[in-house]
Amino acid sequence: MKTRFTLSVLSLSVIVSFGAAANDYASIDTYEGKAASKFTENANTAVAKSLPWEDTSAFKRTTRGLIAEFGTHEAGELKNRFEYMADMSVEDLPPSVNPSIWRQGMLNYAAGGLYEVTDGVYQIRGADLSNMTIYRTDNGYVIHDPLLSRQAAAASWEFAKQHLPAINGEHKITGMIYSHMHADHFGGSRGVYESGDFAKDAEIYAPKDFIKELADENVIAGTAMGRRANYQYGTTLDNNAKGIVDNALGLGTSRGEVTLVAPTIEIQEREKVINIDGLDFHAINMPGAEAPAEIVLYVPEYRSLNTAELTYDGMHNIYTFRGAKVRDSLVWTKYLTELKMRFVDNGLVDNIHAAHSAPVWNDTSTNVNEISEYMTLQRDNYGFIHNQSMRLANHGVTIHDVGRQIEEIVPQSQIDTWHTNGYHGSYSHNARAVVNLYLGYHDMNPVNTNPLQTKDQSCVYVNAAGADVLYKAGMAHFNAGEYQESSQLFNDLVQCNPNNIDYRFALADSFEQQGYQSETMAWRNSYLQGAVELRTGEIQESIKLASPDVIANTPTGMFLDFIAVSLNAPKAEAAGLDFNFGVYHPDLGERYYGEVSNANMANIEVDKLPKVDFELIINKADLTKVALGETTLDALLKFGQAGVKGDASLLDQLAGSLDKFDGMFEILPMPSK
């Protein structure tokens, strides 16, 4: 069910600029975007003329090795949802879509079934945002990256079983591997684990610090990240040429439950050969590039290299709009150089395959090492972003300007290559991420040392120039096709007066045209999502990143860190909170010590608890139920399933000073109710 703030003035029959009535956007349910302007159409036509359409190699790779298409099988639910793409063509480019991302959508739509990478290595592609890779072992199959949702993974495995040979009369799952801790690589784990084929002695492998980094990324900032993800993924947009056309890494995401069966083995060593039912996997931890915890796999028997998410057909994010720790593009280039030198240039692999996009094979009919060329271009793309961003920074180019300057110097070899285009990450926002990693957000201009709040800053301009002057200037830019300039002015007007429907609709129109011209998925979706919220005045419920399984596997120390983030400092100060406490898990034998003082909370895990004001004794499983809202602490205490030693009233005082996050905060200012 949608939760929304409704624009109170939408019931008025007001005709605004650009020919739209206010009640045209009275509901997200009936929302429809506008047409592309002549300026946008011309801009996209110009882009189309510059693209290397003659290179269709990615489409050949995508369809190579097809064993069976999904057809009407439920594993094809995602592809069927994007059915309108069946008629996509480079001969009929819609004016409301940048032709480069349109072509990426065509490429991702082309995948939909079970494929053979090489004899013994198979992939389900097109069932979800990510690929499920399947390795044949002596007595069964290993599942690598079981997609995003339980439903998609279960359906995909059932589909695979229909077309893969039974071994000893069955399709036994002899192990499962998570490449890294992003949800589309573990979220379907229960669909595989509970399939009835999972061997009792099968292990689940993950990179070092998998659980820690997963919780760190999805819990502490999970509410804010979920709301921001609404913009990155355009949660209220339809699948059409005025909405979502592609999700860069894949066509889109499956619908269903994100789950997590906790790994039984985290690979602690930098490198380790693990043998799963007779098949060796050379696992290498490569953290800090695409993910804080990630492993790649070399499988010598199949002469295959699984690069996890270090390669895919496009430029990846160094910084992701939904929010995450900035990634290290320099270490990314070093990892790709290492893999290229050790396994590719030494002739140890015939293919590389990854968590997204189709594999790359060497063409035995030529002397060209296509895998080496592919990895070199991928490596040099991230190297270019890193090195040139910091070269410019060392010349004094600021974080606000480096993105534009990087765009001016992209080498022609990268421009002419499809798989280095900015579908997920862009040169512009990745360059700013690099500078942020080294130098932070401050550009050293003293005016930004203690900046005005957003609304106050906008009102300075509006009050100085006059709202009518800014609005007319914004309209002049809009009518000249200068949409970013018009957005700059309209945004100040909306920030200063969010109830003015003319300003809101003008800003929405300028965002929309920029979205239509954007090559990068997150740019397009963010512009169009912003237009939706401006026009309808509605905020939809946020994406929930912390699923029950994720919460259940969150270490208690991190759960207490989240409680500390939830502590409302003014409330804590007013209540005079000043105490120390302990938490003991009898089922795990774990103890935690915490202090609440000076409107702050801190905690650590300890072997022995010092003298405290109170100690909460509760099983970890029961704490998880409390966190999920399945029970209450009062109920557990009442029935003796938890206990408190010391002053139990302090727990109530702490609870009374905690905020609850609903993920419904404004990104663009909403009008008054």
Give residues with Cβ within 8 angstroms of 450, minimum separation 6.
none
Going by C-alpha positions, the residue among 220, 310, 288, 330 that lies closest to residue 554 is: 220
- Give the least confident one: 229-233, 350-354, 388-392: 229-233
CA distance 391 to 451: 27
The pLDDT of residue 21 is 57
What is the average per-residue pLDDT within 18-37?
A: 76
pLDDT for position 260: 94
pTM: 0.93
High-pLDDT (> 90) share of the chain, % = 84
Amino acid at 517: Q
Strand order of the β-sheet with 271-276 is 271-276, 279-285, 295-299, 304-306, 351-353, 360-361
332 vs 311: CA distance, rounded Å = 10
Domain segments of the chain: what residues?
41-376, 553-655
> How large is the average pLDDT for residues 279-295?
97
Average pLDDT of the chain to the nearest whole number: 93
The pLDDT of residue 545 is: 66
Contacts of 523 (CB under 8 A, 6+ apart): 426, 514, 515
- Report the CATH fold assignment for 41-376: Metallo-beta-lactamase; Chain A (3.60.15)
pLDDT at 26: 72
Per-residue model confidence (pLDDT) at position 22: 58
Q: What is the average pLDDT across 511-535?
A: 97
24 pLDDT exceeds 80?
no
Q: What is the pLDDT of residues 364-399, one digit of tens each?
A: 777 779 999 999 999 999 999 999 999 999 999 999
pLDDT at 363 over 70: yes
pLDDT at 23: 63
Check: CATH 2.30.110.10 for 553-655?
Answer: no
Determine the pLDDT at residue 148: 94
Let me know the angle formed at the C-alpha of 457 by 397 and 400, rounded to the nearest 5 degrees. 15
420 pLDDT higher than 70? yes
| Token pair 């999970």 in the structure block, residue | 222
Q: Which of 260-269, 535-544, 611-620 has the lowest mean pLDDT?
A: 535-544
Structure tokens at 359: 């594999």
Q: What span, in angstroms and rounded, lies between the C-alpha atoms of 205 and 142?
A: 11
Query: Are the C-beta atoms of residues 146 and 206 closer than 8 Å to each other?
Result: no
